[in-house]
Amino acid sequence: MKKLSTLIVILTCTLLLACGKQEASPEAEVEPADAEDGNAAALTAASQIESDYMREIIKEISQDSYEGRGPGSRGDAKARTYLAERLAELGLEPGADDGSWEQPFDLVGVNATQPDEWVFTGAEDSMTLKQWEQFIVGSGVQAEKVEITDAEIVFVGYGIQAPEYDWDDYKGADLKGKVLLMMNNDPDWDPDLFAGETRLWYGRWDYKYLSAARQGAVGAIIIHTPPSAGYPFQVVQTSWTGEQFELPAGDEPRSQISAWVTEDTARDLIAMAGMDLDTLREQADNRDFEPVALGITTSISMDVAINRVQSANVLGLIPGSDPELKDEVVIYTAHHDHLGIGTPNEDGDAIYNGAYDNATGVAQAMVIAKAIKALPETPRRSILIALVGAEEQGLLGSEHYAANPTFAPGKIAANINYDGGNVWGHTHDVTYIGLGKSSIDKIALMIAEEQGRVVKPDQFSDKGYFYRSDQFSFAKIGVPAMYLHTGTDFVDRPPEWGRQQRNHYTEVNYHQPSDEYDPNWNLDGMVDDALLGYWTGLAIANADEMQEWNAGDEFEAARLEALSGE
């Protein structure tokens, strides 16, 4: 790695020129010698970012005694207590509005007793699906009983309504009381349509279930394929069985059931209707597609156990040093939860430890806090370390924070998120999920260049990672966000080695009991990525102006609204 010897120049430029928005002038208020001293101190503080500290945190919260850190569990509470204690040791202040370390939020546990079989009836035949192998179904409502009787199945293509792309898969059809069968992902063959291969929120399961509910449908079934989902069906099996947590229901529309079926199962169902899945897919790849009634009905009844628990976001604050800017903040996030105790694997292990996902991210956020606290003077803006909960259940902790922020959205300069760290060593590159969307780009690009690394956008863009982690909750309220992830071009490794490691993790360990701490992990890459986040956050915290979404970005309007509310 190239030594960051010229970061003095970079951070001085950022501080004085407000990220390139102003012209340099001899009358700048900060003297070069002062800037040099300050950045030398920042370089010294950066030495606090080292692997042993991160390894200690990863190993601790991913051990079996934390029971997989399932929301509302003993392991969840134990992890929160541990993290708050470590933040206090570093000298941070409690960051919640009531002066405590935790921002609690209520969760509703919904555990549907899935039937062993699910029957679909056509005009002349019927088909019985087997739970686990062919389908996974959950309750879409927070009620003790879910029941659908003789509901008609309608194929609705992608199930997307996107006026900005002149796309509407529903065409005003009356879908009340229907069960909608839909494809995963979004149209990906044209870079000018839904961003091409880059998956947008329209391609995510949460959008699709919400979209179906808006139509008055009683159920939605997503056709799972590994390429369209970004993970194998085993992830659906382990992630969507057992207790599912949600924030307490409001007045939002909801369907009775939310389900997945395998591609082969969907193909057979559609064949029973005398149609062909591939033909329907081809039709759905056009703007003029209209919903197709399959002439198939289904009924299903499930008892649902409702459990009300509480989790919390752990918040640690480093107050800013500038009297005018300290009420603004840079927020570092990482989710502390995982899946808890669930379905045993073939070895009988039922604890989903979540070492990579996301003890590594927590460790990176914590070690950045350690470095910032080592500065002789804190940054101009405040720094908030937000270790959020219930991310695996649908970004619930960060969603709660976004709805109840300790700093107004227009006062949040940026969000830097860590979700999964590089445990395989140094890379020539770094993945910045969200690259091209905001003014954070220019800062991250400069600092990565000093590291001798190339910044790349989401290298698995078809998986929609921007909409799958906590920065999405902040983006929705207008906060510019950067989600740093592992590069793929590893030092002294063959060209495809990095992708092979990532793909192996996804196929074998993602949301499985095998996601456990490995003492052989090489955390050098985590150090590099934490340093990138550290320097980027400092530059943003010290800049004269706030960060912005780029003109025309999907979140620009929310940012302008947030800033105007000041």
How far apart CA 147 and CA 234 sit, in angstroms, is 26
Q: What is the pLDDT of residue 16?
A: 36
Strand pairing class (179-183; 454-456):
unpaired
- Nearest-CA neighbor of 84 among 97, 68, 100? 100
Summary count for the chain: helices (H), strands (E): 16, 21
DSSP 8-state symbol, 464: -
| For residue 41, pLDDT beyond 90 | no
Q: What is the pLDDT of residue 37?
A: 66
Phi, psi at 115, each rounded to 5°? -70, 150
Q: Which helix (H) or strand (E) holds 11?
A: helix 7-17
User: For the residues 122-143, what does the mean pLDDT come to?
Assistant: 96
| For residue 22, pLDDT beyond 80 | no
Determine how many CB atoms are found less than 10 A away from the CB of residue 127.
Answer: 17
Non-local CB neighbours of 289 within 8 Å, separated by 6+ positions: 157, 169, 171, 283
Q: Which of 11-25, 212-226, 410-424 has the lowest mean pLDDT?
A: 11-25
More confident residue, 556 or 29: 556
Contact (CB, 8 A) for 473 and 399? yes
With cut-offs at 50, 70 and 90, classify the pLDDT of residue 21: very low
With cut-offs at 50, 70 and 90, classify the pLDDT of residue 176: very high
CA angle 358, 77, 318 (to 5 degrees): 70
Domain architecture of the chain: domains with CATH: 7-107+310-468+481-488+523-545 (3.40.630.10), 110-306 (3.50.30.30)
Alpha helices in 451-516 (DSSP H): 471-476, 497-504
Could you tell me the CA-to-CA distances from 336 to 340, 396, 420 in Å, in that order? Answer: 12, 12, 11
Q: What is the pLDDT of residue 13?
A: 46
Specify the pTM: 0.87
- Nearest-CA neighbor of 434 among 418, 410, 452, 450? 418
What is the percent of the chain with per-residue pLDDT over 90, rounded to a whole number? 86
3-state helix, strand, coil in the chain (%, to 5): 35, 25, 40
Q: What is the pLDDT of residue 280?
A: 98
Q: Which of 5-14, 529-538, 545-554 has the lowest mean pLDDT?
A: 5-14
User: For the residues 502-522, what does the mean pLDDT come to?
Assistant: 95
User: For the residues 119-142, what does the mean pLDDT come to?
Assistant: 96
Preceding omega of 422 cis (within 30 degrees of 0): no
Q: What tens digit of pLDDT does each residue of 538-560 get? A: 999 999 999 999 999 999 999 99
Could you tell me the CA-to-CA distances from 397 to 107, 254, 400, 473, 535 in Å, in that order? Answer: 10, 20, 5, 9, 26
Q: What is the pLDDT of residue 198?
A: 85
**DSSP states along 258-289:** EEEEEHHHHHHHHHHTT--HHHHHHHHTSTT-
| For residue 54, pLDDT beyond 50 | yes
Q: What is the pLDDT of residue 35?
A: 55
User: For the residues 29-36, what does the mean pLDDT come to?
Assistant: 50
With cut-offs at 50, 70 and 90, classify the pLDDT of residue 388: very high
